[in-house]
């Protein structure tokens, strides 16, 4: 009986030829970083495969980072994806490709792009409402601007780390409302934020806003993102300028970037808007819906604690990009922006411990004990999938991180 090829991906595998996310890897025998494409349980050395097949895309794929491919623009993204799909689905290419396939467990995965700027948004109405109720129980849950513009802040790009990187518990100032003075020490309210990140490919000129309709000309793909948050540090420092040290210590991202083109079947309309939007944010006449139906699962120490639905996000990634540049701010290749915490209407759809425990009032039950916020040694994992063409599922690469004690 002939040996099965690694390219014979089982039916129903969320990382089949319909997906083909990009990453960067190295091996124990060769430290050089290379672009890889995930197919089933394997990584295709894309640059080596392109060179072996005499492809004109060997230069773009034979790089240590995705940045040159990102900068090449939408036409190149489409053409390279089309070529990769043909390579992995044409049996005639198997003798050439198979020597360049490596089992996932035999490679080390790295941050796949060089991050330029980082912006994080606050786009879930359910999350923002929960947070408002927690911190402003006697006032309006949403601030007056919330349904008129996507609220965001600039984060720290230098502390974006790839999935699997340990997260050191941050220290800082904290002061509870009843404390007479602030104290310094390790955060005691370390939290997660289940988010989706987007990476910019083609840059834009300073002074030239990016229109809603040009979202796909600039954004290459998306991935899962965990915006770790020290709630006690954040609560003391954020007035009046917003998040700072409570957020900047680490942001974890998946090692795999799913091209937007792989998610065509997952496009959905965002929730109905309560107020008319200003023209630069008005997507009512868009050619196709701006939301994405991504089904996220949050697990702590291997135990599922929440299933936030990305389809419920009030502000879309296209609106976030338009707002981020409407003042003339330029885009750079490698810019990353996060959706903000994804939360749904149900209790088990909340994407942060702040909401799941109502700021520590309640606890969640894990096999190894109760939790209100994260303890040292806890491992948080985000996974997700999206509906694909037919009955397929498009898998998103997981993002995981383990909390280690303050140094």
The residues carrying an active-site annotation are: 127
Q: Which residues contact 152 (CB under 8 A, 6 or more apart)?
A: 119, 120, 121, 122, 320, 323, 324, 337, 340
CA distance 356 to 372: 8
Among residues 341, 339, 344, the alpha carbon closest in space to that of 309 is found at 344
CA-closest candidate to residue 233, choices 378, 373, 379, 139:
373
Largest Cα–Cα distance of the chain, in whole Å?
A: 76
CA nearest to 323, candidates 339, 341, 309, 342? 339
Task: Return the DSSP state at 254.
Answer: -
Least Cα distance to 191 among 349, 350, 372 occurs for 372
Hey, is 128 helix, strand or coil? Answer: helix
The Cα-based distances of 168 to 51, 157, 245, 383 in angstroms read 41, 17, 13, 22
Q: Where are the alpha helices (DSSP H) in 272-333?
A: 317-325
Whether residue 240 has a cis bond before it, omega within 30° of 0: yes
Separation of alpha carbons 167 and 192, rounded Å: 11
DSSP 51: H
Name 22's bridge partners.
37, 257
């Amino acid at each position: 009986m002939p040996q099965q090829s690694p390219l014979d991906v089982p039916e129903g595998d969320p990382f089949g030829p319909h997906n083909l996310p990009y990453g960067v890897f190295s091996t124990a025998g060769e430290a050089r970083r290379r672009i890889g494409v995930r197919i089933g349980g394997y990584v295709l050395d894309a640059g080596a495969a392109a060179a072996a097949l005499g492809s004109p895309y060997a230069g773009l794929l034979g790089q240590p980072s995705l940045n040159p491919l990102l900068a090449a623009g939408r036409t190149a993204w489409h053409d390279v994806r089309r070529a990769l799909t043909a390579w992995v689905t044409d049996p005639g290419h198997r003798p050439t490709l198979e020597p360049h396939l490596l089992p996932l467990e035999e490679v080390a995965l790295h941050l796949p792009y060089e991050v330029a700027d980082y912006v994080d948004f606050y786009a879930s109405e359910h999350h923002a409402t929960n947070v408002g109720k927690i911190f402003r129980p006697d006032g309006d849950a949403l601030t007056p601007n919330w349904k008129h513009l996507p609220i965001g802040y600039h984060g720290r790009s230098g502390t974006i780390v790839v999935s699997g990187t340990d997260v050191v518990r941050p220290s800082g100032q904290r002061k509870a409302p009843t404390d007479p003075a602030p104290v310094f020490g390790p955060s005691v309210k370390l939290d997660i934020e289940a988010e989706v990140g987007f990476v910019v490919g083609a840059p834009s000129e300073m002074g030239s806003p990016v229109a809603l309709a040009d979202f796909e000309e600039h954004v290459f793909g998306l991935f899962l993102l965990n915006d770790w948050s020290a709630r006690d540090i954040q609560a003391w420092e954020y007035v009046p300028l917003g998040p700072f040290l409570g957020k900047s210590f680490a942001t974890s991202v998946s090692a795999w970037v799913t091209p937007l083109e792989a998610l065509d079947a997952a496009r959905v309309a965002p929730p109905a808007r309560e107020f008319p939007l200003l023209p630069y944010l008005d997507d009512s006449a868009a050619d196709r819906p701006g939301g994405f139906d991504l089904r996220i699962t949050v697990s702590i120490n291997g135990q599922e604690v929440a299933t936030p639905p990305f389809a419920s996000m009030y502000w879309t990634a296209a609106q976030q990009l338009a707002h981020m540049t409407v003042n003339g701010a330029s885009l750079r290749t490698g810019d990353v922006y996060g959706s903000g915490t994804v939360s749904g209407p149900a209790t088990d759809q909340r994407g942060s411990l702040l909401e799941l425990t109502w700021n520590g009032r309640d606890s969640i039950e894990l096999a190894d004990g109760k939790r209100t916020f994260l303890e040292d040694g806890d491992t948080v994992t985000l996974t997700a999938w999206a509906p694909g063409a037919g009955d397929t599922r498009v898998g998103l690469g997981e993002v995981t991180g383990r909390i280690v004690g303050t140094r």
